């Protein structure tokens, strides 16, 4: 695995990921996740939906850096991610992390592809920036899929005081489905953006909307 992918997947990477819970704060407030036992189902479904979408677009963006793409490609890829992300709150969370990742990426890994992307989309979606920075489709997919579950897992530890060893083991047991998700993302990475898969989770979309709406009235510790 490329070092860039490891650095970006590291929770110490200063790209703003630590203030996002991937919907688990809302699930915790609603008492849908109360203990370590509830985590595998939440994380697995997140991996197969939002995680698979992120992995797919990260791989596609990485693939695009390895071939000649027409001007406007990044904008199209970004718009296709919009089309697959109906919740405004989810899009805002993705763009916030994309912007943070780009800010860190411009310093660590400047490249013509990154400049092209930011020229066409000043605030690109997170998986697309990630893919451009990593540049290797399968590695980019792995980093995106891992972040899709490691973020909520560590948020759950902070929100519920869960046993970090149990939570770490839950994440480790996602290895097989994560391999499947990433293999598929890498397989379709070179396809036309419009034909990329569109896995989605209406539940997570609604959680994200509720999180944003309720933050006005009640305390939410995470931005999403």
Partner 1 sequence: MRVEHGHGHGHHHQVDFDPTATAPDHHDATPHAGRAYRIGIGGPVGSGKTALTAALCRALGDELELAVVTNDIYTTEDADFLRKAGVLAPERIEAVQTGACPHTAIRDDITANLDAVERLEEKFPGLDLVIIESGGDNLTAVFSRGLADSQIFVVDVAGGDKVPRKGGPGVTTADLLVINKTDIAHLVGADMTVMTSDAHRMRGDLPVIAQSLVDTPDAPAVAAWVRSLLPTRTR
Residue 35: other Cβ atoms inside 10 A? 11
The reply on whether position 206 binds partner 1 by CB under 8 A is: yes
Give the contacts of 154 (CB within 8 A, at least 6 positions apart): 11, 18, 167
Site map for partner 1, 118-147, x if CB under 8 A?
--xxxx------------------------
The reply on whether position 95 binds partner 1 by CB under 8 A is: yes
The reply on whether position 184 binds partner 1 by CB under 8 A is: no
CB 91, min distance to partner 1, A: 6
In a 13 Å sphere around the CA of 190, the CA atoms on its Cβ side amount to 5
The reply on whether position 106 binds partner 1 by CB under 8 A is: no
Nearest to 149 by CA among 113, 133, 173, 125: 173
Using CB under 8 A, pick the residue from 99, 138, 174, 201 that binds partner 1: 99
The reply on whether position 73 binds partner 1 by CB under 8 A is: no
Q: Of the ranges 42-50, 57-65, 114-122, 177-185, which one interacts with partner 1 (CB under 8 A)?
A: 114-122
CB 30, min distance to partner 1, A: 4
- Rounded Cα distance between 91 and 125, Å, is 8
**In Å, how far are 40, 47, 122, 128, 173 from 168, measured between CA atoms?**
11, 15, 35, 27, 9
The reply on whether position 209 binds partner 1 by CB under 8 A is: yes
Using CB under 8 A, pick the residue from 33, 52, 155, 156 that binds partner 1: 155
Nearest to 57 by CA among 123, 144, 178: 144
The reply on whether position 158 binds partner 1 by CB under 8 A is: yes
Using CB under 8 A, pick the residue from 1, 83, 108, 169 that binds partner 1: 83
Q: Which is nearer to partner 1, 18 or 184 (CB)?
A: 18
Give the contacts of 217 (CB within 8 A, at least 6 positions apart): none
The reply on whether position 78 binds partner 1 by CB under 8 A is: yes
Q: What Rg, from alpha-carbon coordinates, does the chain have?
A: 16
- Rounded Cα distance between 83 and 97, Å, is 18
Q: Which is nearer to partner 1, 66 or 88 (CB)?
A: 88
CA torsion sign for 216, 122, 16, 169 is positive
Residues making contact with partner 1 (CB under 8 A): 12-21, 29-31, 75, 78-79, 82-83, 85-88, 91, 95-96, 99-100, 103-104, 120-123, 155, 158-159, 205-206, 209-210, 213-215, 217-223
């Amino acid at each position: 695995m490329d070092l860039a992918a490891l650095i970006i997947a590291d929770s110490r990477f200063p790209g703003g990921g630590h203030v996002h819970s991937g919907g688990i704060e809302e699930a915790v407030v609603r008492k849908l996740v109360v203990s370590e036992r509830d985590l595998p189902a939440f994380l697995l479904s997140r991996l197969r939906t939002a995680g698979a979408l992120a992995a797919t677009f990260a791989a596609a963006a990485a693939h695009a850096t390895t071939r000649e793409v027409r001007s406007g490609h990044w904008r199209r890829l970004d718009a296709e991610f919009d089309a697959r992300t109906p919740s405004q709150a989810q899009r805002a969370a993705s763009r916030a992390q994309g912007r943070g990742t780009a800010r860190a990426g411009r310093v660590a890994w400047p490249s013509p592809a990154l400049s092209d992307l930011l020229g066409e989309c000043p605030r690109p979606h997170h998986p697309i920036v990630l893919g451009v920075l990593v540049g290797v489709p399968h590695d980019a997919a792995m980093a995106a899929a891992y972040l899709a579950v490691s973020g909520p897992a560590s948020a759950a530890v902070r929100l519920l005081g869960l046993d970090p060893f149990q939570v770490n083991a839950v994440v480790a047991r996602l290895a097989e489905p994560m391999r499947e998700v990433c293999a598929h993302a890498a397989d379709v990475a070179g396809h036309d953006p419009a034909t990329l898969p569109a896995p989605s989770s209406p539940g997570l979309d609604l959680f994200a909307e509720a999180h944003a709406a309720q933050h006005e009235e009640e305390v939410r510790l995470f931005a999403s």
